[in-house]
Chain A
Amino acid sequence: MERVFVFFEIMFGICIFIRISDDLRMKKLISEYMMTKIVAIFYLWLFVLAALPKISTIYFSILAWIPAVMLYISPSLLKYLRKQQFRREFAEFLNQIILKMQTGEAFRSSLQTASLNLSEFSRYKFEKMRESLCFGSNVAQNTQNDPDVEYLLQYFRQAEADSHRILPRLLQLREKIKVTESLQKKINQALRQHRAQMWVLTVLYLALLFVVLHKYGWHAQSRLIMISILLYILGLYLSLRISRGFKWKV
C-alpha cells in the first residue's frame, strides 16, 4: 500500500513540478533549456530518494516536495529582492543625476551616465525606461507592470515636458523619496524584531517536530501532532497578520 502511495506521489510530484517550471518558462523567467535542466535535476533527486534504504514514507514525502515548494516561491522571492534592490539604488541614482545636472549636463545624458553605476538588473530597467522616454514606446511590456517604474517614467516624462524646470522637479522627487524612505525605515525597524522572533520560533518548532516524529513516529501520536501543527500554523498566521497589518490611521 505504501509503495502504491509513493508511486502516485512521485507521479503527481513530477506533474506539479513540470507545471510550475512550465509556468516560469511562459513568464520568461527561465529558458526552455533551463527548464529541461531543472526538471532533470528533480528526476535525479527523486531517483536518489527512492534508492535510499530504509526511508520512511513521511520523510520521503517531505524531501520530495521541498524542491517543488522552493521552485514555486523562488520567482516571488526574486521579484521582491530585485524590487528592493531597485528602490535602494534609485535614491543614489537620482543623486547622481542631480549632481550631473547641477554641473551643467543635460537630463538625458546625465541619465545615461548615472545608469552606468547601477547593478545589471536595475540598469536593464533604466535602459528600458530611457528607451521609452526617447521613443515613447510602452515600457510596461518590458518591466512587467512595475508600478515604481511606471510612476518614475511618468514623472520623468512630465519633467521633460517642462524642460526648464527639470532640476527643481528632480529635487522635489528626491525629497519625497526621502520622506517615504524614512517613514518606511521606522516601520521596518519596529517589525524586524517581531519577524526575527517569529522565524526563530518556527525553526525551533520544526526541529522539535522532527525530533518527535523521529522518536515516536507519526501513527502513534498523529492526533496530537496534527492539533499542535494546526495551532502553530494559526499562531504563525496571526503573527504574520500583526507584522503586515500596519495601516495608516492619520
Chain B
Amino acid sequence: MEGLAPPLHLCIEVRMMMERGESINSGLRKIIPEIEINFRQHVIKLLFEFDQYGKVNHKNFASLTMYRRELLNLLVHGLCGEPILPRIIGLEHEIKTACLDEIQTYVNDLPLRGLLTMLLIQFPAFLLLLFGPLINELTRSFMQ
C-alpha cells in the first residue's frame, strides 16, 4: 500500500486503529514497520522517550515538516491519555489538502523541467545527428 505521504499514512493508520478501539501505545508499535523509514525513526524515538521518561522532548521534531511535527505532537497527547480522535480526523483532512497542493505544484513544474532537459540535452543530440554528418561532408568537400 505504497503511494501515500508518510504523515497521511500514519494518520490514517492511527485513526483506523482508534476506531477499532485499540490504544495508541500498542497500536503504534504494531504499525511501526509500515511507516516510511525516515519518519519511522522519529516515531520510534518518540515511543522510546515516552517509555523511558514519561515525556517527550518536542525539540526533536524541529527538523520535521509542520504536518509531521503536528502529528507527532498529537500522538504525544494521545499517549498521555487525552482523547485525540476528532483532532486526528481534522489533521488527516489538512494533510490530504496539503498532499493535493503538493501534487498540483509538481504538475505545474513538470513541463518546465521536462522542457529544460529536452532543450539543453536532447535537442542538441538531435541537431548533432541531423546536421553533424552534413556539415562534415560539406567541410570535406570544401577542403577538396
Residues of A within 8 A of B (CB): 147-148, 151, 162, 165, 168-169, 172, 176-177, 179-180, 183-184, 186-187, 190-191, 194, 197-198, 201, 204-205, 208-209, 212, 215-216, 220-221, 224-225, 227-229, 231-232, 234-236, 238-239, 242, 246, 248-250
Contacts and interface: CB of A to CB of B under 8 A. Distances in A.
Interface of B: 1-8, 12, 16, 19-20, 34, 65, 67-68, 95-96, 98-100, 102-103, 106-107, 110-111, 113-114, 117-118, 121-122, 124-126, 128-130, 132-133, 136-137
A199 to B, nearest CB: 12
At the interface, is chain B mostly helix, strand, loop or mixed?
Answer: helix
Contact of B125 (A162, A177, A228, A239): A228
B107 A209 contact: no
B5 A250 contact: yes
A179 B132 contact: no
Contacts, number: 126
B16 A172 contact: yes
A201 B103 contact: no
Contacts of B95: 250
Nearest to B134: A216
A232 B125 contact: yes
B128 A183 contact: no
B106 A208 contact: no
B117 A179 contact: no
A224 B133 contact: yes
A240 to B, nearest CB: 10
Given A179-B96, A197-B114, A249 B133 contact: no
